[in-house]
Amino acid sequence: MQSYQAYPQTAPSDPVSLPSGGGGGGSFSSMTLRHYWHVLLERRWLVILVLMMAIAGSVGYVVKAPRIFQAGARLQIDPETETQVNLREGYGGISRIDQDYLQTQYKNLLSRSLLERVVKAERLDQDSRYSREMDVVQALAEDITIAPIRMTRLVEVKVDHTDPRKAKEITDRLANEFIEQNKIRKTGRMMSTLQVLRAQANQMERDVTELEDAVQAYRERNNFVSLDANMNPVAQSLSQVQMRYADAKAAAEIGQSQITELEAHTAAGKPAETFPSIAHDAQVIAIQTKMSDLRTDLAGYLKRYGENHPNIVVVRSRLAEAQKELNQRIQETTDTLRKSAELQQVQLANLKESLDYWESEYQKWNKAKTQYDVLQRKADASRALFNMVLSRLNEAEVMQRDTAQNIYVVDPAAIPVEFVWPNIPLVLVGGILAGLLVGVGLALFVNYLDDSIKSQDDVELHLQMPFLGYVPSVKSAKEVERYLQCHLHPQSNASESVRSIRAAVALGDHGEKLRVLTVTSTVPSEGKSVIAANLAIAMAQTGFRTLLVDADMRRPRLHKAFQMHTPVGLPTYLHGKTDQMDEVVSATEVPNLDLVCSNGGASQSTELVASRRMVQFLDEARKRYDRVILDTPPVSAVSDPLVVSSLADGCVFVSKFNKVRREHARKSLQRLQDAGVHICGVLLNDIDFEGRDSYYYSYYFYQNRYYSSYRARPDQIGAVKSA
């Protein structure tokens, strides 16, 4: 009898290496750019629909949106000399222009008080653009744009309006009112500032004189060489002693820690020579190396000689001497560590006394310096404030005589010619991009929700089952063409795929023992009967005597496909109406293939397949045939496939592409496994490689075409190549 592993045909492409399809919610490793491209191709009409809607919305907005004109004026804001006293600013500048000042002026351009003056002057409450607004000032603020020019003191003031002339008038009015407001504020501030500064300057001059006299008197009362920390010998000596003490303390702690760890090491019963400080000793390492060599020699001598052999006695003697030398060296190293730790403790105690002395001296010096610093800081602060007030007073007097403005118009507004909004290219491009993003996102989201079985990844990752292969759809309305594809069209893609599945089953786990196979699926109309028929034909084509059994007694189909109309079938045998298997077996036009049809009995099909007659039928089939293929009903429909598959050697599970949800298929497979069925694997059926599913499996399709042309008959090679 032949074995499955003797098949000359092997799969044209390893099922594991087939390109990944697109299943929603797949593993992260399969989420490649190719995968996303396939998803978008599958959902392309959804993306196109969303894109068209976005484009239509953009065009509608462009047509109906009012035309907005923008007028702009350019202002220059120069440094303003601030003369207002603020003692909390310390030693800061008096009248410097900085980023904070510019930002303040930008905000003032949008202040409510300024905008109210513009609204009143231009009568904007009667303007058609603002007359229906509840808050005219807020509406005007939304139409104003303040755009500073980077790295300059220039700022552009822009105003939007549906009337270009009105936009220019509002812009000019805003700039002029802002300059006038700044002038009024500046003049009033100068007068009040001068009065305050003069009074403060007189008072601070008296305070400075009193504090400097107090500092001079303190120096005369205290006799110190220097009160400067950088020139004080007490602080320098203390710093040196502190560094020496810190080093000595660290060394003493390390030495004491080594002694403590050594005692704990030996107390734990560990050999002293394994302690790091001892183990790293050069002499200890040399002695241990010597002992290791002696032990090696001793082991060699013991294998060849007796215990009293002179060589063994000499080696043992040398080993004892080495051990004694090792113990002596360990003791010497330990004593050295202890003496070093004791010496470090003595040095630490001496440095502690010196440290205490210099700390006491430093505290005396520091107490005197603290009082001196307090007096000096007061004098310095008072003089700094006095100088600042004098400087501000001088600047304020200069500013009082200088009436020039620091803000002026560089470029007045002009009447705009072209509208700035809607920006037709921007709106259209934005609509297209938004439509594409929304469409792509919606397509990916729909694909994420789609958890149907589509690929090898879905089978292996989600169903946790071996993957047998892909079977393309047979585009033929005739049942005979589909059921006998491997016989009528042996060079077709579907036939090659079935042969690949045959090889995958044979080369799988326990392939040589799989003589009786059942074919089932999750739900009806997944093509399990077509797969069963073609798989039986493929096995028969290898020379095996094969029996195809229609075990789907509720909806039998195989007798129509093979054009047989015999009233005798599997139910006849199971009812006991005949004991001769030959009466229910019919020969087919396929060499080496026989067929057992089903002629009814759906009302009690479960009882029939679970009877002893079914076991006798399968036993007799095993004796007569090399391979037996049973077409069974779907698992989710009835319990027949569970019973039949438990009597068979294995089960081939068929899943139609993009039809069955992963969870539904997983539960069906779980039912089979709970019944003790050996599942050979799962195959994906009815894939349109040339049509709707081509973007998933184009690589596989063209590869099959290549192999099909390679196996074609000589008279067909030219036709295949031309195709």
CATH number of the domain within which 568 lies = 3.40.50.300
Q: Give the per-residue pLDDT at 230.
A: 61
Number of neighbouring beta carbons within 10 Å of residue 204:
20
Q: Give the per-residue pLDDT at 277.
A: 67
Does 702 lie in the same domain as 658?
no
Mean pLDDT lowest among 93-107, 379-393, 399-413: 93-107
Does 439 lie in the same domain as 482?
no
Q: What is the CA radius of gyration of the chain?
A: 50
Beta bridge partners of residue 155, listed in sequence order: 75, 148
Does 145 lie in the same domain as 235?
no
Does 571 lie in the same domain as 507?
yes
Does pLDDT of 157 surpass 50? yes
For residue 195, being part of any structural domain is answered with no
Does 321 lie in the same domain as 275?
yes
Closest residue by Cα to residue 435 from 44, 42, 40, 49: 49
Contact present, 93 and 407 (Cβ < 8 Å): no
Does 148 lie in the same domain as 78?
yes
Beta bridge partners of residue 156, listed in sequence order: 74, 147
Q: Give the per-residue pLDDT at 146.
A: 93
Does 602 lie in the same domain as 512?
yes
Does pLDDT of 87 surpass 50? no
- Above pLDDT 90, what percent of the chain? 30
Q: Give the per-residue pLDDT at 722.
A: 33
For residue 19, being part of any structural domain is answered with no
Q: Give the per-residue pLDDT at 159.
A: 93
Does pLDDT of 319 surpass 80? no
Does 82 lie in the same domain as 50?
no
Phi, psi (degrees; rounded to nearest 5) at 146: -105, 115
Gap between the Cα atoms of 515 and 680, Å rounded: 12
Contact present, 22 and 39 (Cβ < 8 Å): yes
For residue 486, give both structure tokens.
Answer: 């491997």
Does pLDDT of 228 surpass 70? no
Does pLDDT of 614 surpass 80? yes
pLDDT in tens, 56-86: 999 998 888 888 999 999 999 887 654 344 4
For residue 16, being part of any structural domain is answered with no
- The residue with greater pLDDT, 227 or 85, is 227
- The residue with greater pLDDT, 374 or 409, is 409
- Above pLDDT 70, what percent of the chain? 81
Number of neighbouring beta carbons within 10 Å of residue 128:
9
Burial of 258 (0-12, 13-18, 19+ CB in 10 A): middle
For residue 143, being part of any structural domain is answered with yes
Q: Confidence class of residue 693 from pLDDT cuts 50, 70 and 90?
A: low
pLDDT in tens, 521-539: 999 989 899 999 999 999 9
- The residue with greater pLDDT, 222 or 243, is 243
Closest residue by Cα to residue 684 from 415, 516, 453, 344: 453
Gap between the Cα atoms of 518 and 551, Å rounded: 9
For residue 614, being part of any structural domain is answered with yes
Does 499 lie in the same domain as 589?
yes
CATH number of the domain within which 182 lies = 3.30.70.1130
Does 535 lie in the same domain as 443?
no
For residue 213, being part of any structural domain is answered with no
Does pLDDT of 283 surpass 80? no
Gap between the Cα atoms of 397 and 4, Å rounded: 111
Amino acid code (one letter) for 452: S
For residue 58, being part of any structural domain is answered with yes
Does pLDDT of 223 surpass 60? no
Q: Give the per-residue pLDDT at 569.
A: 86
Please, what sign has the CA dihedral across residues 505, 510, 512, 514?
Answer: negative
The position carrying tokens 């589509």 is 454
pTM reported for the whole predicted model:
0.50
Does 626 lie in the same domain as 521?
yes
Contact present, 518 and 530 (Cβ < 8 Å): no
Gap between the Cα atoms of 402 and 83, Å rounded: 13
Mean pLDDT of the chain: 79
Q: Give the per-residue pLDDT at 701.
A: 46
Structurally, how many domains does the chain consist of? 5
Q: Give the per-residue pLDDT at 509.
A: 78
Mean pLDDT lowest among 48-57, 85-94, 117-126, 316-325: 85-94
For residue 700, being part of any structural domain is answered with yes
Gap between the Cα atoms of 336 and 603, Å rounded: 100
Burial of 582 (0-12, 13-18, 19+ CB in 10 A): exposed
* Helix/strand/coil for 595: strand
Gap between the Cα atoms of 424 and 65, Å rounded: 10
Amino acid code (one letter) for 475: K
Q: Give the per-residue pLDDT at 578.
A: 86
Domain limits for position 673 = 451-687
Does pLDDT of 497 surpass 80? yes
Gap between the Cα atoms of 439 and 325, Å rounded: 86
Does 439 lie in the same domain as 528?
no
The residues, any chain, with a CB within 8 Å of residue 375's CB and separated by 6 or more, are 211, 214, 215, 218
For residue 433, give both structure tokens.
Answer: 């991009």
Mean pLDDT lowest among 132-136, 233-237, 589-593: 233-237
Mean pLDDT lowest among 133-142, 191-200, 409-418: 191-200
